[in-house]
């Protein structure tokens, strides 16, 4: 029991010693800190001015409407290919009917199959009705920022 109590006392003393051994935080002089902040503000202000003067870099960015136009052209080509495939399917179904595909064992299932393919072909040939894109609204004017605007 004595050894346990002495061990706890030593551990407590060690913990207190380590707590007080931490270095105290020295506060910086407010004038030095203000000078450093002013220097950082001036650097950031110069960077903003440089970014505003460089519109050529943003002009080199890809035009999103051109990418959308390319995607739309690919979609139109795909729809046209689907329409051509539907026409070919319709011709094949008509050819199968003329050759007596529905005759034979279980003609009802063959008739259902031809009807289903016919409906698919008709659905693929349905014309696509697109609505014109809405004109995006003009961007609202940004309020003036700064100390004069806050007053």
How far from chain centre, in Å, is Cα 22?
48
The answer to the question of residue 102 being in a domain is yes
The answer to the question of residue 110 being in a domain is yes
The answer to the question of residue 149 being in a domain is no
Q: In the prediction, which pLDDT does 151 show?
A: 47
Which residue segment(s) compose the domain that 75 sits in? Answer: 64-124
In tens digits, the chain (151 residues) has pLDDT values of: 567 777 787 777 777 676 666 665 667 788 888 899 999 999 999 999 888 887 665 555 667 788 888 888 888 888 888 888 888 888 888 888 888 877 778 888 888 888 888 888 888 887 767 666 655 655 565 655 555 555 4
Number of domains in the chain: 1
The answer to the question of residue 136 being in a domain is no
Q: Quick check: pTM over 0.75? A: no
DSSP for 5-60 reads: HHHHHHHHHHHHHHHHHSPPPPPPPHHHHHHHHHHHHHHHHHHHHHHHT-HHHHHT
The answer to the question of residue 78 being in a domain is yes
The answer to the question of residue 108 being in a domain is yes
Half-sphere exposure of 65 (CA within 13 A, CB side): 3
């Amino acid at each position: 029991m004595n050894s346990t109590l002495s061990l706890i006392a030593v551990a407590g003393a060690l913990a207190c010693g380590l707590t007080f051994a931490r270095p105290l935080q020295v506060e910086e002089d407010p004038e030095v800190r203000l000078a450093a902040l002013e220097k950082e503000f001036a650097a950031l202000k110069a960077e903003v001015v440089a970014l505003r003067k460089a519109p050529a870099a943003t002009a080199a960015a890809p035009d999103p409407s051109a990418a959308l136009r390319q995607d739309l052209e690919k979609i139109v080509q795909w729809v046209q290919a689907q329409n051509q495939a539907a026409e070919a399917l319709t011709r094949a179904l008509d050819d199968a009917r003329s050759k007596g595909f529905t005759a034979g064992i279980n003609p009802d299932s063959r008739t259902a199959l031809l009807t289903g393919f016919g409906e698919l072909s008709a659905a693929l040939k349905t014309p696509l009705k697109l609505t014109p894109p809405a004109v995006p609204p003009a961007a609202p004017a940004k309020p003036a920022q700064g100390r004069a605007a806050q007053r």
